[in-house]
Amino acid sequence: MTKTAKLYGGSLYDLAAEESLTEPVMEEMDSIRQIFRENPDYLVLLSEPSIPKTERVALLNKAFDGQIQPYLLNFLGILCENGALREFGGCCDEFRSRYNADHNIAEAVVSSAVALSESQAEALKKRLEDMSKKTIVLTQKVDEGLLGGLRVELEGKQLDGTAQARLISLRKKITEIIV
């Protein structure tokens, strides 16, 4: 994440928190981020320096006025005027990071060879919540390259209970015994 995204995203978070709008703004940011992902040409158009800033901001206003919080619309306009609209994804990440920190939430990504059942995912989520003392938002990924077991990324740490990690650990122990 760039310094620009950290600064802008953090500033928007501070404003939204002051106005008790963090949840709706975060949801709307996620929606806009998805719109930009699905329509990359729109983002290119809004970032085109040959189009006057006022016209680009007017395009944003036309698309989102009355659809999103005014603070968020103004924020998009500021990013557009400053040529930083491509930093929006990083701003979203910073906003969510600050929100999660303030609400004792941690995001975890679990990778497994096959999709976890609902009961398995719930049990894992509960276990992670007990370990971290935080509310866990769990994202599942299927990695067919894993032979079995789970790999969990939580707060910058990796908990690797995959078959491959266990075999590597076993090999290391055997090597230590032999040497």
Element (H, E) at 23: helix 22-38
Higher pLDDT, 118 or 178: 118
What average pLDDT does this structure show over 109-114? 91
CATH class of 104-178: alpha beta
Q: Residue 179 above 70 pLDDT?
A: no
Domain with CATH 1.10.520.20 in the chain: 3-100
What average pLDDT does this structure show over 88-95? 96
What average pLDDT does this structure show over 25-36? 96
Beta sheet of 105-112, edge-to-edge order: 135-142, 105-112, 150-154, 157-160
Q: Which CATH architecture has domain 3-100?
A: Orthogonal Bundle (1.10)
Element (H, E) at 111: strand 105-112
Nearest CA-CA partner of 142 in 159, 121, 167: 121
Q: For residue range 120-137, list pLDDT tens digits in order.
A: 999 999 999 999 999 999
Nearest CA-CA partner of 164 in 143, 142, 148, 153: 148
Cβ–Cβ < 8 Å for 149, 166: yes
Comparing 42-46, 60-64, 105-109, 172-176, the range with the smallest average pLDDT is 172-176
Query: Residue 105 — φ and ψ, nearest 5°?
Result: -115, 140
Longest Cα–Cα distance of the chain, Å, equals 72
What average pLDDT does this structure show over 63-86? 94
Domain with CATH 3.40.30 in the chain: 104-178
What average pLDDT does this structure show over 150-160? 88
Considering the chain, what is the average pLDDT of its residues?
92
Q: What is the pTM of this model?
A: 0.78
Report the percentage of the chain scoring pLDDT > 90: 75
Nearest CA-CA partner of 75 in 25, 34, 31: 25
Cβ–Cβ < 8 Å for 116, 140: yes
